[in-house]
Structure 1
Amino acid sequence: MADDLLADFRTMSKFGATPAGGVERQAATPADLANRAWLRGWLLHRGFRVANDPIGNMFGLYEFTPGAPYVLAGSHLDSQPGGGKYDGAYGVLAAAHAADRLRRKYRGAAVPPPLNIGVVNWFNEEGSRFKPSMMGSGVFCGKIPLDQALGELDTSGTAVADALLQIGEQGRAEVVDPATELAAYAEIHIEQGPILDKEGIDIGLVTSTWAANKYEIAVHGAQAHTGATPMPDRKDALYGAALAVVAVRELADRFGEHLHTSCGQLTVHPNSPVVVPSEVRMHFDLRSDSQELLEEADALLRQQFTAIELKADVRIEKKFGHRWPAAQYEPAGVALAREIADDLGLSSRELRTLAGHDSTNVKDLVPTVMLFVPSVDGISHNELEHTADEDLVKGLDLLTGVLDRLIHQAL
């Protein structure tokens, strides 16, 4: 059965494959559709009912006890541009294989499990084509209004609703009622950090999330000639943006390992080699293990932006794009996963997740178990992302054990 997982992973990794060994499979693109179609066929062939909800979340459902709630497991199939092939995709495939193991185990059982099993591929977790990230699970959990999500535009002006319609992946009705038909959730993911790999640990037991603030920034200046306009008269939006990027990085230097910062995407207007830019739009994020520290960093950032406005003679517009607080995962789920890891002879340790995952949303709705497998050298969002085959298999064995317990008694 381990060989089946690895063979299927190799097949799935062909969808959107890049020459350097990663994948380019952003949400609602032809490569994403091809992967979804393959997974749909895989699930249907094994007796799962497959359906999409209105935001494009894809569910594969199997009933042991008709009418009972579901234990869901999954992650996401979409990738970053030039991303790694493990991020998200492994979690979906591992969930599918674990659910199918349980389907075969209890097929024809005199006393079936009291809860049903489901696999989910959440739409647009990465937030690379459409913002915000974790969109599908956010809508499912009631954190993002459906109409708002469907109206979000990519850089070409295509709305989520149109993109889903173009690939035929927008469902018309709720598939699983999150309020009444969901009993628990489990997700397994590559760590995307170096700790497990460096320490030689098999499994990460995720206990909590870091807090995150994501901002949409616009720096407004005035268009001008790059040669003829006197330097003191310039209102250079790109100069102001550059100062802001440096300020955000210096925040991380100030707080050390307790704050991670980044600037992700820049759009410069009019982006001509002989025009002083009039506007720059970009995205920042601040992440911390402390909500208080995050608030302090946000206050310092506002002060820095005020100083930059004066220095560069620009106006900076800042608004929150997406945020989530530092929060705990279900302690009983951590204990359950540790117990099963011990039974399987797998080493484990507790970890906090610095990255956002769909479980970040779902844990606020139902008891949730979040698991990590090692990432070689901690590389992620990169074509060189890698997890050893044996670690993929160990993760599947653990996830299967966790789900087996959960379909008999949710946390």
Structure 2
Amino acid sequence: MSEIGATAGGGVERQAATAEDGEVRTWFRDLLAEHGFDVRLDAIGNLFGIHEFTPGAPYVLLGSHLDSQPLAGRYDGAYGVLAGLHAASRIVARHRDAGTVPTHNLAVVDWFNEEGCRFKPSMMGSGVHTGKLVLGAALDTADPRGVTVREALARLELGAGASEIPALAAYAEIHIEQGPSMSEQGIAIGAVASTWCAHKYEVVVHGEQGHTGSMRMADRKDALLGAAHLVVAVNELVREFPIEALHTTVSELYVEPNSPVTIAREVRMLIDLRAETTAELERAFALLTERIGAIEEATRTRVEFVSSSVWGAGPFVERGVRLVEEASEALGFSHARVKTLAGHDATNVKDVVPTVLMFVPSEDGISHNEREHTTDTAMLAGLDVLTHVAARLADGALDRP
């Protein structure tokens, strides 16, 4: 899989609905078929492989995403998709050999555009599937070059489809941690008990275009200067909170006209605020808006918030967390309850169906980087635990309150 979109630094680049994303999705479609799964595509381009034991029964869904950030690592998302297929295949084989049938059917998914780097927002495929995003609006979303999701999917050999995906009984996702805690503590399996929340704001800093040489300094309305002050203000928000209680980033900048002898008239940027509670994020945003007035006055620019996207904090179902702990105990793997600071498709799905999220360690906590690495031993341990958990889910372990 990692040969598709391979980068010189040992990672991958497969941004959503690019040729590389299309190639890896086609590769995965063929792999699903080889393992006996019926392949389906929904209208936003989520790719499903389903195995029906009992007609009309709901499905236990396993998976993650195959798209990546630019110059990314091999493991983020992709591990969870492959592990989901192998776990489901093991369970199907066991029931076939034993002549038994589980309570629920099984399916595997590659969620479309989890990363959100080409098309915003992130977790788009699972957002549409869970009703958090409107299909038409998602399809009309354009990348920085003006290409819409609808157009990009149409260009792929494996784009959007019209399949109706059956009802779900439960969802399980395994992922690399993307942080250092498990690696530092020597934990093999993380049972994710809760997620942080995130507020992301698309912001435009408005200035006035002019000549970098001839325009007097006192007359300038430099949008890039205003943006620079705003970047610093976002970073300095963390000083108002306990250490590591708030994470802040400006992760994207587009400068217009981006010419070597022209003062910027406009800067578009993405502000990313994350914390454990909504109250903390609301306080951080209030502090930021207080400082914006001074930035506008000092730089003679205007700051406009044009859109936002949010996912909330909250727990994962307790019975699912215990399933991961019980499976880890049964298989002899060390484990601990952990939180996810990153967003995952599971954070969307957990709000509509019982959901289990589990982690394996990331070496040195590195992620969204070509040096991202998780050992074979860690990945295989995770696959064993996922198989155990998925088998329990297929037998209805989360069906009862």
| TM-score of the alignment, normalized to the shorter chain, above 0.5 | yes
In the alignment, which residue of structure 2 is the partner of 1:387? 374
Corresponding position of 1:149: 138
Match of 1:363 among 324, 329, 350: 350
- The structure 1 residue matched to 2:7, chosen from 5, 14, 18, is 18
In structure 2, the residue matched to 1:223 is 209
**Which residue pairs with 1:195 in the alignment?**
181
Spell out structure 1 runs of 4+ moving beyond 6 A.
Answer: none
The answer to whether the Cα contact below 8 Å between 2:206 and 2:266 also exists between their aligned partners in 1 is yes
Q: What TM-score does the superposition give when structure 1 sets the normalisation length?
A: 0.95
Secondary structure of 1:247 counterpart: helix
Q: Out of 198, 223, 230, which is 1:244 matched to?
A: 230
Equivalent residue runs for 1:248-397 within 5 Å: 248-255=234-241, 256-397=243-384
| Aligned counterparts of 2:219 and 2:324: Cα–Cα separation in 1 | 62
Q: CA deviation at 1:34?
A: 1.2
Judge conservation of contact 1:184–1:410 (CA < 8 Å) in 2: no
The question of whether the paired residues in 2 share the 8 Å contact of 1:72 and 1:118 is answered with: yes
Q: Deviations over 1:161-203 (max 9, x none)?
A: 01000003333324314xxx10000000000000010000001
Which amino acid letter does the alignment assign opposite residue 304 of structure 1?
R
Tell me if the contact between 2:208 and 2:264 (Cα under 8 Å) persists in the aligned partners: yes
SS of corresponding position for 1:186: strand
1:7 corresponds in structure 2 to none
CA distance in 2, matches of 1:46, 1:257: 44
Q: Distance in 2 between matches of 1:175 and 1:16?
A: 30
Counterpart pick for 1:209 among 157, 172, 195? 195
**Deviations, residues 208-255 of structure 1 (Å, cap 9, x unaligned):** 110100000100000011111111111110000000000000002332
Q: How many residues matched?
A: 397
CA RMSD of aligned residues (A): 1.0
TM-score (norm 2): 0.97
**Secondary structure of residue in 2 paired with 1:299:** helix
Q: Is the 8 A contact 1:59 1:175 kept in 2?
A: no
Quote the Cα distance in structure 2 between the aligned partners of 1:410 and 1:310.
59
Correspondence for 1:8:
none
Please state how far the C-alpha of 1:396 moved relative to its aligned partner. 0.2
CA distance in 2, matches of 1:350, 1:43: 32
1:33 Cα shift? Answer: 1.2
Question: By how many angstroms is 1:97 displaced?
Answer: 0.3
Q: Distance in 2 between matches of 1:146 and 1:108?
A: 41
Give per-residue Cα distances to partners, 1:3-37, cap 9 Å, x unaligned: xxxxxxxxx11110111110011111111111111
User: In the alignment, which residue of structure 2 is the partner of 1:9?
Assistant: none
CA distance in 1, matches of 2:227, 2:142: 23
SS in 2 for 1:366: coil
Unpaired runs of 5+ in structure 1? 1-11
Does residue 145 of structure 2 align to residue 159 of structure 1? no
- C-alpha separation between the residues in 2 aligned to 1:381 and 1:90? 14
- The answer on 1:41 being equivalent to 2:30 is yes
Contact 2:22 2:159 in 1 (8 A): no
Amino acid at match of 2:215: T
Q: Is the 8 A contact 1:16 1:24 kept in 2?
A: yes
Q: Distance in 1 between matches of 2:158 and 2:133?
A: 19
Amino acid at match of 1:62: H
| Paired residues of 1:221 and 1:313 also in contact (CA < 8 A) | yes
| Residue equivalent to 1:169 | 158
Q: CA deviation at 1:140?
A: 0.3
Aligned partner of 2:60 among 53, 71, 96: 71
